[in-house]
Amino acid sequence: MTTTTGFSAQVLRLDPQRETDRICARIRELMRNQVKRGGVVVALSGGIDSSVTAALAVRALGRGRVIGLEMPERHSARETLALSGKVAAALGIPTRVEDISGILQSVGFYEKYDNAVRMVVPEYGDGWASKIVISGVANQPRFTSFYLVTQDAQKVQSTVRLPLQPYLEIVAATNFKQRIRKMLEYYHADRLNYAVAGTPNRLEYDQGFFVKLGDGAADIKPIAHLYKSQVYQLAEFLGIPEDIRSRKPTTDTYSLAQGQDEFYFSLPYQMMDLCLYARNHDVTAESAAPVLGLEPQQVRMVYRDIDTKRKTTRYLHLPPLLVEEVEWE
């Protein structure tokens, strides 16, 4: 690895007007020449990525060719629906609200989830809430450790190390949420002859922070090349409401509030963006550490985590694999 000069906290600054124009031109080109659909469906979560994706779609295609879907469920944060509705109103696009709690109930999600948690916390029941967190970079061992945080009916929290099987059971159950939402996105896309716009940023796309055939499924992904810090820059330029721009990134998946850096990434997004950029541009840990406010050994741990996630989540990016290629006649 070589030392790259000029690495600083400013390397991710972009020209928002120029980048917006470039993305919008590409959206129009893809829709016209490849996707060939009349508009796009965007799932609105009240977060920064879906808000910016919707705003770019409106700029590219016009508000009459964009529809937002709001899909809360009983574990969603209270503010989710209000914020997703707020960005839709700001953009002037129609929305459909599809509460997916009933669908989740019908496939047994809530029961499956609770049973998985009870593998570790037998007393878990009505009135309780929970989430998964990981060990932080400052004290991270060679392998990431997962922990289950529970909160009982009296709001008392406890944390316990999560063995592999309960972890897999919990994650498999929560993946119902992303896959059900995507099913509804494609239902509305099909009935309108629209395409589905995915909302991952570069950090999520690169590191496999998505569910295969869930939020990872889409026809176009307009911001997958942008670091999350750059998504925030576009959000300000595009006039995304301040309370959405100031909202802490959240998975909005578990019944306890959960930040992305608690569950998946080693560091807050501002630092992870810089680490990913540094890794991509052969910046040594010794050169990156002062910019990040970390020790070189901690940066090396993050680099190792980036590489590991790329290897272990590669299958998420793969199309169905064939025994032999099928040629188009």
Binding site residue list: 43-50, 179, 199, 204, 212, 219, 228, 250
d(CA 166, CA 312): 19
Please classify residue 44 by burial: count the beta carbons closer than 10 Å to its beta carbon, then call 0-12 exposed, 13-18 middle and 19+ buried: buried
Q: State the binding site for deamido-NAD(+).
A: 179, 212, 219
d(CA 129, CA 280): 38
* 3-class SS of residue 113: helix
d(CA 137, CA 300): 10
Q: State the binding site for Mg(2+).
A: 49, 204
Contacts of 107 (CB under 8 A, 6+ apart): 176, 180
The partner residues of 66 in beta bridges, in order of sequence, read: 40
d(CA 132, CA 144): 12
Contacts of 16 (CB under 8 A, 6+ apart): 233, 234, 236, 237, 238
Provide the edge-to-edge strand list for the sheet that holds 157-161. Answer: 129-134, 146-151, 157-161
SS3 percent helix, strand, coil of the chain, rounded to 5, is: 50, 10, 40
